[in-house]
């Protein structure tokens, strides 16, 4: 069973072919990704109109390359999957319309994929993780702790009440005049900084529940910059980045520990702690979660960086997971700029907005 996956929810255009093997494991036959970093760098962030136009210009070529690298003709596919949200509506429309057109023209089953579900299921492609498990989704647009109990069965345990972690990294980078994309720049600067120089808050630490809050921490960094009374020098930037990252690491460790406790209370022991999203590439966060894994006895699974950021393979795999269960969608499925990954959202996954 082979599915073509299309991803276009933000500033990566991607197409991939993934194969489901008889033993239930997956194999990535191709995974083509076009990053738009160069197009958006001058603006310091993603410009939705530019992103949508770039998707239109490159997507057909990427689909062709994905099929060529997989060594397949379109007729040899068993289905087409496309991300239908959440994301920038212009980009979502480009990928979703392309996926529908291909499926319709080739008389193939079509799967409209929740981008968050694709992240949630990636560890099953890369590591064969069994249900149930706890997902920590940390990206530019999302920060959530989700109990993944089965395909289409998700319970939100915790989430940010304001900024996403990746968004906070990017905003701190912008305050410090670091290049776009900001998250990796903050991590790089933090490597030479002293995390004890600036005393920054740890929002929500040891609070009931497992929710996150990042806006206060971001504001604290801005106030420290103002207190310096001058343009931050290179050592100030490094120390601020190190202090900010240390605070984020402490918050993630505390909130994830709380999430694991709530998971056990509701669903029993998790098969794994899975991390997904672009922020999963941050090494300091990875080390902290590795320590937490050792302390709690829960297996830690972090897919390779290229499969944590947006990609077509995760969409194709989610499509395969749904196709083998007979969960297909109609051609009138509408794009969704917002699409929470919880039980209520999944119950409404019926091919209509």
For 258-283, what is each residue's pLDDT tens digit? Answer: 999 999 999 999 999 999 999 999 99
How many domains in the chain? 2
Residue 352 lies in a domain: no
pLDDT for residue 42: 78
Mean pLDDT to the nearest integer, 131-152: 96
Structural domain span for residue 222: 132-305
The reply to whether 16 falls in a domain is: yes
Q: What SS3 class is residue 50?
A: helix
Do 54 and 43 fall into the same domain? Answer: yes
Q: Give domain status of residue 240, yes or no.
A: yes
Please state the pTM of the whole predicted model.
0.93
Residues with Cβ within 8 Å of residue 17, at least 6 apart in sequence: 2, 3, 4, 5, 28, 29, 30, 66, 67, 69, 70, 72, 77, 316
In this predicted structure, the answer to whether residue 348 has a pLDDT above a threshold of 70 is no
Phi, psi of 116 (to 5 degrees): -70, -35
pLDDT tens digits, 277-297? 999 999 999 999 999 999 999
Using CA atoms, how far apart are residues 42 and 166, in angstroms rounded to an integer? 19
Do 141 and 96 lie in one domain? The reply is: no
Specify the pLDDT at position 36. 84
**Neighbouring C-beta atoms of residue 135, cutoff 10 Å:** 30
């Amino acid at each position: 069973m082979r599915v073509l996956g299309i991803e276009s929810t933000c500033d990566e255009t991607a197409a991939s072919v993934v194969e489901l093997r008889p033993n239930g494991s997956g194999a990535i036959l191709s995974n083509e990704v076009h990053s738009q970093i160069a197009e958006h760098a001058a603006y310091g962030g993603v410009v939705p109109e530019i992103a949508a136009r770039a998707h239109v210009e490159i997507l057909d070529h990427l689909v062709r390359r994905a099929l060529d690298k997989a060594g397949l003709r379109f007729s040899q596919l068993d289905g087409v999957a496309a991300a239908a949200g959440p994301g920038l509506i212009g980009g979502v429309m480009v990928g979703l319309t392309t996926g529908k057109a291909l499926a319709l023209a080739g008389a193939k089953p079509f799967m409209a994929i929740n981008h968050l579900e694709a992240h949630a299921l990636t560890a099953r492609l890369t590591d064969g993780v069994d249900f149930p498990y706890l997902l920590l989704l940390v990206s530019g647009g999302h920060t959530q702790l989700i109990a993944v109990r089965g395909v289409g069965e998700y319970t939100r345990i915790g989430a940010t009440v304001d900024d996403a972690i990746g968004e906070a990294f990017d905003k701190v980078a912008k305050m410090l005049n670091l290049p776009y994309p900001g998250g990796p720049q903050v991590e790089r600067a933090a490597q030479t900084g002293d995390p004890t120089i600036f005393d920054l808050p740890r929002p929500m630490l040891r609070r009931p529940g497992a929710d996150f809050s990042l806006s206060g921490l971001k504001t604290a960094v801005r106030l420290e910059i103002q207190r310096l009374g001058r343009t931050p020098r290179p050592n100030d930037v490094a120390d601020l980045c190190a202090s900010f990252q240390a605070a984020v690491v402490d918050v993630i460790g505390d909130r994830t520990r709380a999430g694991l406790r709530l998971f056990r209370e509701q669903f029993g022991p998790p098969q794994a702690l899975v991390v997904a999203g672009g922020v999963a590439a941050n090494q300091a966060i990875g080390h902290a979660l590795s320590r937490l894994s050792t302390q709690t006895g829960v297996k830690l699974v972090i897919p390779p960086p290229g499969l944590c950021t947006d990609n077509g393979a995760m969409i194709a795999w989610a499509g395969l997971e749904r196709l083998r269960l007979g969960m297909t969608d109609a051609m009138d499925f509408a794009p969704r700029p917002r699409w929470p990954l919880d039980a209520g959202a999944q119950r409404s996954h019926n091919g209509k907005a």
